[in-house]
Amino acid sequence: MHPAIKIVSLIIVTIFITQGGWFTLFLTVILLLPFYILNLNLWTSAIKMLFRLKWFFLSILIIYYYYSPELQSSPSLFNILNERFVPGFFRISVLVIILFSVNLFIKMTPKEDILSALLWLFSPLQLFHINVERISLRAVLTLEYIDELSARLSAYQQKKAFNAVSNSQYSFINFFEQKKKSLFHLVEHSGIILHKILDEADNTAGKSYTVNCLEAPAAKQYLLPIVLCLSLYISL
């Protein structure tokens, strides 16, 4: 499939599930499920991404609980769950589906194809004297260095875990204190790694990327985003 069609389809799915309801999410899950069943390796990267966002998801639930309007009915457990937690779970579900969609796109599309597709999609902007090559390359480098950042943070966490086991003199009293220090160290080290990666990204003059000159997609491939639009629009 033409990589530009993949990008357009991803954008369409993202727009509609953010505007739709539970049925739109259910329909999107049905569309994604066959890809994840046929390629079980996709689950590994998706679950890792979900695990990294666990505290972000928890913060969404907390925000919806404390900042939702007053209950319109009696403050029973069912009403609290229905009017405060269910909207939070829905927003988390939307983010999870977007994450699975992006993961599918990234894992099934080589970076060179992504760069070529972005160049093809942004080519009309050249009429306004916009540097399309720079924008497209920045987007691809962002994807590349996000993986690099995740790998370095994982290596740092494993090193800290090994040192903690080697120097295991913990007691129940200072357990939470150690956890707090570890969190602060991780945040500080994340900033250091991010600065290093940004410096490396700015010094990629010697790095080469192969860009294929894409032709327009086949006429039948335009049916995919059209069918997606119609299907998801009906589900709204």
Mean residue pLDDT of the chain comes to 76
**Separation between Cα atoms, residue 223 and residue 13, nearest integer Å:** 15
Q: Which of 62-66, 71-75, 133-137, 211-215 has the lowest average pLDDT? A: 71-75
If pLDDT is split at 50, 70 and 90, which confidence band does 27 have?
A: very high
If pLDDT is split at 50, 70 and 90, which confidence band does 132 have?
A: confident
User: Within 13 A of 43's CA, how many CA atoms are on the CB side?
Assistant: 7
With a cut of 60, say whether residue 220 has pLDDT above it.
Answer: yes
Q: pLDDT tens digits, residue range 174-183?
A: 555 655 555 5
Taking alpha carbons only, the member of 182, 116, 107, 115 closest to residue 147 is 107
As a whole-number percent, the residues of the chain with pLDDT over 70 amount to 63
Highest mean pLDDT among 57-61, 91-95, 119-123: 91-95
With a cut of 60, say whether residue 73 has pLDDT above it.
Answer: no
If pLDDT is split at 50, 70 and 90, which confidence band does 159 have?
A: low
Contacts of 229 (CB under 8 A, 6+ apart): 12, 16
Q: Residue 28: what residue type?
A: T
**Separation between Cα atoms, residue 188 and residue 142, nearest integer Å:** 21
With a cut of 60, say whether residue 206 has pLDDT above it.
Answer: no
Residue-level pLDDT at 26: 92
Report pTM.
Answer: 0.74
